[in-house]
Amino acid sequence: MAAAPSSGVAALRNRPATSIGPAFLALALLLALESAGGAAILRLAGEAGPALLAALGSLAAGIRFGWTLRPGAEPLISRYSRFDAAGLPDPDGHYTRRLTAAWAVLLGGFALTFLAAALGLFPAAPLWLLQPALCTALFFGEHVLRRCCFPELGRVTPLRTLQAIYRCHRQVRHAA
């Protein structure tokens, strides 16, 4: 005898398609358009397609960080820090503003570098290794720095940071 489904996925399966909601349908449409756009770029750009897609992805991520550095806006990493039990490393937010800027510059630099590779100025192969290595080094290195500069925050871990990011995105309503 099977138990009654209790998961959220099972509940979604039992709902009529029209009750899924406009936000879910908008997200599905956006993902479909993004996939179609990516496929078109790969097809039209030929060998340069993967580097061009990497440039666009890095640019989008860099803009996500950089956009929050506008005057009067809350830096992205400051927002994430508010969802960490330890709170902001520094009350004035200088540390998290500089860290947000570092991510924006790093990702923007990769966007330009991948674009140069897409234009044939040099091979993209080394970038496929360099980008994840540098992003990983910045992510983990920042935790070491924060642990040294702000011991009052307690045990600073990447898992705690990822949990704060998750909590932030669960509570902040994004435009559909």
Residues in the chain: 176
Structural domain contains residue 176: no
Q: Is residue 164 part of a domain?
A: yes
Q: Are 168 and 82 in contact (CB under 8 A)?
A: yes
Mean pLDDT for the chain? 83
| φ/ψ of residue 59, rounded to 5 | -65, -45
Largest pairwise CA distance in the chain? 64
Residue 4 belongs to some domain of the structure: no
pTM of the model: 0.73
Domain that holds residue 56: 21-171
Say if 12 falls within a structural domain: no
% residues pLDDT > 90 (the chain): 52
Q: How confident is the model over 49-72, as pLDDT tens digits?
A: 788 889 999 999 999 999 999 999
Domain annotation covers residue 108: yes
